[in-house]
Structure formats: C-alpha cells, structure tokens
Copies of this chain bind each other. A is one copy, B any other.
C-alpha cells in the first residue's frame, strides 16, 4: 500500500512518477496543438493545496470522539491533505474541480478501519447521527463514485478509507480461490498471489492505484477480461458491512438458492454495504503468453474477427481493436516518442500499397494460459484473423503496449497543465447493434466537442453476444467554463448511448455522473426495487448517498 502523501491528491498516481515524454516535449505539444487546431497551448497549472481554504469540518465532537475510540485516534484524520485527498475521485470533472481549488466535497473526516467490526461500529455511529459514509479504496473512480459530499438531510460526511484492510486471509490452491480483505491495492494483491504461483488476472488501467473492493463495487473489468472475466465473474463470495449489520454470501461455485447475491454486491458501489472481504477465483501464473498485433482494412473487418474468435469459444485473454482514428492518433503519438528514423516511413508506404492505409485498424490479441491452450488458440485466431483480411504484424506492438499499459493515465495531468481536456467513456451492446452505437456516440461527441476534437475509440472487451466500446476524446478546454463544457459533452454522449441501445457503463460504474441515465436504463420499477433493498440494509441512507441508487 501507499502512504497518502506519496500520491497526488489532484492528479494520477505517485508524485514521484509522471508521463515520460522522453525529451520530445516540443514535438509532442506541437502535435497535440495541431490536432486540436490551436496555434499554441496555454499554461494552465493547478492551484496548490496551501492556497485553498477547506470548508470547516462539520462533525460533532462526540462523533469524532466515538470514531477515535473505535479505530484509534491516529486513524481518524481531519487534516487538509487527507480531506483534500478524499474529496473526489479521478474523473475529468473531479480533476477540473480539484485543480481549480474546489474542495467543497472534502469529507469532514477520514477514518481508516482495520477490521470489519470497526467498520460496523463506524457505520452505526454515523447512522445514528445521520452522517454520510463514503467507502474509499484507491479513489480511482471516474464516475464520481467516491465524492465526499453528504446527501440531503445529512449532517456531515466521513470518508471510510479501507486500504489498511489489505491482508490475504486464505489461499485455497485446490479450489483456486483466495480470500482477501477488500482494501488491498492491485499490486499488493498480485504480489501476495504471485509468490505462491497464482494470479487474479484483473489488470484494469487503474490497476496500480485501485483496490479489490473498488473493482467489485464498480463491477470493473481488467484488460484480459476474455480470460479472467470482470469482477462479477471472478467474485465467489463477499462480506459486507451495512448499518443494519454484517452480511456475507456463501462461497460456492454455483447455486440455485435464489438470486445470486454476489451479483448484487458487484456493482453496488458502497450503497448496500461496505465490502470488507472477498473470495475470488485465481489462476495459476500463466505458463505461456503471446501478445501480437494484426492490422485490418476497416473497423468492421476487425470487429468481425473478434466476433468470430469469441464465438468460436477459443481461449483468448484479450482482444483490443482501435478504430482508424485511434490507430492513427496513438501511432503518431508513440512514433513521436521514438528516435526519428526512416524505417517507419518506408513501412507506411508498404502498408498503404497493401491496402492498409490511413483507414487501417490495429487489433492487439493476447493469449495466456497453459501452453497447449495457447498453441491451439494461436493457430485458430491466426486463421480467423486471416479470414477477415487481417495482416499479422508481430509481437512488437504488444510489447510496447505492455510497457505503457498502466502509465497512460499519467498523461492526463500534463495535458490539463496545457489547457487540453481528455476524458473517456464506455458502453456495450450486442454485435448486431455495435456499428449503430459506435456511430451514434461518435456523432454526439463530435456535435458537442466541435470539429477539431480528437475522438478515438476501441473495442476493449468482447463476449459471444456483443462487445464494449471505449471512447477517448481530447479537446481544447473552454477556460473558466470547463465543467459546463464537460456536462454538455457528457449529456450528449449519454443520451446517444441510451437512445442507441447501449448500457451507460460497461466497466466504469454509475457513481454520481451516470445516475440519471442509470435510472433511465433500469426503469422506475427496478430502481424502486433496488432502493427498497438498500433501505432494508441502510435505513438512514448514510451509505454513499447520491451515488447509484
């Protein structure tokens, strides 16, 4: 785990790390400016924490005293850094607010429990006084899932930081399951398993700075979800603590004893209880790995290859297909970070001659597992890619992806320092509806962002019946109006997603930012049902108010 002051309170990751432009800053910034139709990029540094006055803590002294009794006084924090750190997550609007010095969402205190019993005592003390409690793991939510704001009728807000609950409790190598306290960070979890020869295989882009409990709460998916599945897939059992008490699900491989409550826990975003423990399916550390790239002449051809592979039930780990704009943008961007040379231009000419010109789309195909399965999948995927006109381009792009798979989020901060906004959103739909959804979201984003924004997309997760679409967009910030600009874009894209039959989120979650569309997607009866379920566990409605339900 990290100490809080190792990490940025208003940006990504470790303070001592950042996105490495490899001394090619000028070239990168002029490429970005040119892409966005700007002559030059402004300097837009964030405000420093020392310059910002936080709202006064609203907690009654008696509650603070109780919290200190429960967890120990050194684990109840009310200093500015801790409150600022826990004020918001890592979404684009969160960063805009943090960088502008808006700390109106700073919780009144931050509490670090170390056991389920402490969580229960904290929840009950808070519920009694109608103080909101926001469960907090890595804080990497990009949908407003950890905003430290009390709900209506609440007298304050406590951020409940679970990261001290980070122990491996049991590894069952026969059943291939592991039980962890839920506040464990990704790298610590993989280290604990890796030492014994196992892996969970859950590697979202936020992997280094997100926790097991957060992955489950937000129903997240890692980059190798074809093999390992999203959180709802690998969750075997969980313990939750709500104001009404602690409850847990039974660790069994399948059950017909009523609804699967694990599937209520996954995606519950802290509203049905604080996830304190989880039993998860693990795999042996893969014996073999293979990540290679293919180029396709069109997005449709690449998507067809993915569809055929997943419907052929082949044991693949990852398939990630960039559309033409994304393939081109990141191709150019990465080329800028490399030493200049003639090789690339010659290769480009060769590709163009073969029909893989500007419209080409890059597929990254990852295999891992037992060697015979990887061999089988390698042969079969090569054949299915060839059927759709795919051109194998070797393992180089895969190796380059391995290097940067967790560093890309560091790029956002330097962009924001230069007046460039960058955000992502994602959805999923059936294969037969994928093209329609893709076009609808692109059109909505283009309409809201204007003609010079960069709108990039890829398919990142695939299933026999459909796939996810992940959009990344870069745009010149409207200075002084950043939040309204963002909301306009968000509204347009979200409405387009729902109108075109997509889900409002494939793996980011709902939080505060998607709540309106979540309500629409589920419909009033289902939302009322979930509200009723929540009320039975949390009658004072103190668990993560304003999020999800």
Which residues of chain A (178-220) have a CB below 8 Å from chain B? 218-220
Which B-chain residue is minimally distant from A265 (CB atoms)?
A: B259
Pick the residue among B370, B462, B514, B528 that contacts A257 (CB under 8 A). Answer: B514
**Chain B contacts for A526, CB-based, 8 A:** 247, 249, 261
- Residue positions of A touching B, CB distance < 8 A: 172, 174-177, 218-221, 227, 230, 232, 236, 242, 244-269, 272, 281, 307, 311-315, 369-370, 372-373, 376, 380, 428-433, 461-468, 501-510, 514, 518, 521-523, 525-526, 528-533, 535-537, 548-549
How many identical subunits does the complex contain?
Answer: 2
Contacts A253-B430, A263-B263 given; 20 further ones with Cβ under 8 A? A174-B430, A175-B431, A176-B465, A218-B256, A219-B260, A230-B256, A244-B525, A250-B521, A254-B506, A255-B506, A256-B507, A256-B508, A260-B267, A263-B264, A281-B464, A281-B465, A313-B370, A372-B376, A529-B536, A532-B532
In the assembled complex, the Cα of A272 lies from the Cα of B533 at a distance in Å of: 13
CA gap between A221 and B254 in the complex, in Å: 10
CA distance A331 to B402 in the complex (A): 55
Which B residues lie within 8 Å of A504 (CB)? Answer: 255, 257
Interchain CB contact (< 8 A) of A252 among B311, B466, B508, B549? B466
* Cβ distance A229 to chain B, nearest Cβ, rounded Å: 9
Which chain B residue lies CB-closest to A373?
B313
Q: Report B-chain residues with C-beta under 8 Å of the C-beta of A464.
A: 176, 253, 281
Q: Are A463 and B253 in contact (CB under 8 A)?
A: yes
In the bound complex, CA of A259 to CA of B235 (Å): 13
Select from chain B the residue with minimum beta-carbon distance to A236.
B465
| Cβ contacts under 8 Å, A250 to chain B | 501, 503, 521
**Docked-complex contact A252 and B536, CB < 8 angstroms:** no
Residues of B within 8 A of A264 (CB): 259, 263-264
CB <8 Å contact, A220 and B256? yes
For the complex of A and B, the 5 pairs showing the least CB-CB separation, nearest first, are A263-B263, A253-B466, A253-B463, A175-B430, A219-B256
Instruction: Write out the residue numbers on chain B whose beta carbons fall within 8 Å of the beta carbon of A255.
Output: 219, 428, 503-506
Beta-carbon contact of B370 and A548 below 8 Å? no
Instruction: Please give the distance in Å from A295's CB to the nearest CB on chain B.
Output: 23
Q: How far is the CB of A31 from chain B (nearest CB, A)?
A: 33
Cβ contact within 8 Å between B518 and A432: no
> Are the CB atoms of B248 and A523 closer together than 8 Å?
yes
From A462, which residue of chain B is reached at the shortest CB distance? B253
Contact of A521 among B218, B257, B461, B531 (CB under 8 A): B257
Contacts of A307 in B (CB 8 A): 174
Which B residue sits closest to A244, measured CB to CB? B525
The reply to whether A430 and B251 contact each other, CB–CB distance below 8 Å, is yes
